[in-house]
Structure 1
Amino acid sequence: MSTNLPQATEVADWPSDWLRAALGLCTLQALEAGPTYGYAIIAELAEAGLGKVKGGTLYPLLTRFETAGWLEVEWRPGEGGPGRKFFALTELGRSELGRQRTAWNAFTSITTTFLAK
């Protein structure tokens, strides 16, 4: 069965409501490996095939996560350039990632089963 879906490394033009639904969880996932900065998160999401996420979309999300206690933010001086804000998951953020991942997997399983009818 052939599909015309993009591969993970291709940039997709997914419907914006799909991306909005998955962006929070995917952002938490991008932070699971350790502290990183906004541009690196954007690059990882694009490399995963989610398309280009704008900073104006990502940074307010990161601020909400920080307010919720899911992230710690640290300003690090740049080497030969401007400094960067680094974001890291807190223990609460790791728990939230696990909770959301489990819920998302259940939701997508139900949706996939329904769509296969």
Structure 2
Amino acid sequence: MENTTEMLKGVLEGCILEIISHEEIYGYEITRRLNALGFSDVVDGTVYTILVRLEKNKLVEITKKPSDMGPPRKFFALNDVGRKELQKFWERWEFVSSKINKLKEKI
């Protein structure tokens, strides 16, 4: 779908939190998962910017693990604060999406 970049900016952090909530994962793999889900406009730089913010806000735990190619990889796992933030994201998503659906049905 074209021109979803602006719309995605507000929800991409929640999508990344959701992916991290299922398993310990590194940045490049998060980008690949998002791309496989159809978010083809999402690039590594965008994901890494969000991961830095998640780390700064103490929503994730980080473990460095050796890589077959190059330096160690940073693996991200959700901590309790991150899980609470993810729950808040889904609550906000449900609220907004229900209002948009009502709007669409009434017009």
Instruction: Give the TM-score taking structure 1 as reference length.
Output: 0.82
Deviation at 1:14?
Answer: 4.2
Equivalent of residue 76 in structure 2, options 81, 87, 90: 87
Bigger CA drift: 65-74 or 12-21? 12-21
1:97 aligned to which of 86, 92, 97: 86
State the AA in 1 paired with 2:80: E
- In 1, are the aligned partners of 2:5 and 2:41 still within 8 Å (CA)? no
- What are the Cα deviations for residues 43-95 of structure 1, in whole angstroms up to 9, with x where unaligned? 111112222411211111111111111011221111x3222111111110011
2:21 maps to 1:32: yes
- Tell me, what secondary structure is at the counterpart of 2:62? strand
Whole-Å separation in 1 of the counterparts to 2:2 and 2:94:
22
**Structure 1 Cα separation of the partners of residues 2 and 25 of structure 2:** 25
Partners of 2:60 and 2:3 lie apart in 1 by: 27
Contact 1:38/1:59 (<8 A) preserved: yes
Q: Secondary structure at the match of 1:53?
A: coil
In 2, the alpha carbon distance for the partners of 1:13 and 1:47 equals 16
Question: How many positions carry a matched residue from both structures?
Answer: 105
In 2: Cα distance, 1:113 partner to 1:69 partner: 36
Q: Indicate the percent of aligned positions where both proteins have the same amino acid.
A: 30
Structure 2 residue 31 is the aligned partner of structure 1 residue 42: yes
1:110 aligns to 2:99 (yes or no):
yes
Ranges in structure 1 where 5+ consecutive residues have no aligned partner: 1-11
- Structure (1/2) with the larger helix percentage: 2
TM-score, length of structure 2 as denominator length: 0.89
Paired residue type of 2:35 = A
